[in-house]
Amino acid sequence: MSGPAFSTTDDDELVQLARRGELAAFEELVGRHRDKIYARAFSLTRNEDEAMDLSQSAWVKGWQRLQQFQGESSFATWMTRIVINLCLDYLRRQKRRRTESLEAMAEENDGLEPHLPVIPVNPTAGLERLELRRVIDDALDRLSVEHRTVLVLHEFEAMEYKDIAKTIGCSPGTVMSRLFYARRKMAALLADLRNQP
Amino acid sequence: MNPADPLKLSALLDGELPPAEARDLSAAVQRDPAAAALLAELQTTRQVLRSADLPATLPASREFYWSKIERDIRRLSPPTPARSEPGLWAKLRLLILPTAALAALVVVIVTGHLNPTPAASKKVADPDTPTVETALASTDATTYRDTSEGTTLVWFTNKKAAAPVAGTNGVN
């Protein structure tokens, strides 16, 4: 690994060095941000192996596209966008492989009626941190890819509707609708999972 | 609220509605306990999720993770350095060099026409006629060549002494 040589060098400078072909500088960037990039891939794919492969591919793509990085966002944010796009491409390919019946289940409302009973209290109140994480992980696993994607992009990446729409290739209205149903489904799942051992 | 309004509660929560529409919907929510409860549920879910984005830990060592990336990168060529905009001097040089070359060519052609070399002017087409060639001025030499006699005489002028020195067959 790059060792302490770059430990005090900031990301911008490392990017400049990497642009000039300095692989050790890029290695330092990977070391700094690998967990975040992996975490984002995992939150979208919910699969450790795929998340690992996709996040590594994202780094390779990042290296290839370094000249395109304009510094308008942080390097970590720029890399996150790359891994998100790779994951969405992967999920689209997966979706194409699914049968039509499975695809039909992934409609906007995911079988939910807008007027389902409201969960009146926080279904995760009082849970320990690890337990809370387990419940949320399980709930995210059970969401459709479409609902999970909008939730991750909005809640974890703080993306606006128009940016989400552009990223996943739909209208902002569709994002609004998916986000509504995704939150409702998530609330119901959290309440159910809370009561499971 | 009309049937479409529940969908907009998420957008209200996220600040994605136009101001006027947000005001109207907020007012409607205050008058409607069911809508208020739904908005509260959406808000809770959003908070739970936002607080739960704990960083996942890579299930592999840093070295193992990097090794595949490095291998793939080394299979590729290094990133192409960005093409920098040529500086002012580089731009001027691009303009000056061809212009200078063209000017030099014009000078050579014009001086060639205006000052034909004495050798060229004294050259006679008949090979049997003796020729007198004045070489370049800098050498101060004059050549007499008679091919019928097989003779070549070269005079070197000593400018200081102003006295010619003769030689034969190009020697001296």
Q: Chain A: nearest CA to B32, how far in angstroms?
A: 14
Query: Are A39 and B9 in contact (CB < 8 Å)?
Result: no
Residue with the larger pLDDT of the pair B124 and B40: B40
User: Does the CB of A39 have a partner CB in chain B at under 8 Å?
Assistant: yes
| Ranges of residues in chain A whose predicted pLDDT is under 50 | 100-106
Q: Which residue of A has its CA nearest to B38?
A: A118
- Minimal Cβ distance to B80: which of A35, A67, A136: A67
Query: What pLDDT score was predicted for residue B172?
Result: 37
**With a cut of 0.85, is the ipTM above it?**
no
* Range with the poorest average pLDDT among B30-34, B60-64, B75-79, B138-142: B138-142
Other residues' Cβ atoms within 10 Å of the Cβ of residue B65: 21
- Compute the average pLDDT of residues B139-150: 66
Q: What is the pLDDT of residues A168-192, one digit of tens each?
A: 999 999 999 999 999 999 999 998 8
Model pLDDT, residue A148: 95
Half-sphere exposure of A130 (CA within 13 A, CB side): 0
> Which of these ranges, A123-127, B113-117, B167-171, has the smallest mean pLDDT?
B167-171
Burial A150-168 (b: 16+ CB within 10 A, else e): bbbbbbbbebebebbbebb
pTM of the model: 0.67
| Interchain contact B147–A (C-beta under 8 A) | no
Nearest to B68 by CA among A8, A54, A114: A54
- pLDDT of the residue at B103: 80
Average pLDDT over every residue of B150-169: 56
d(CA B91, CA B93): 5
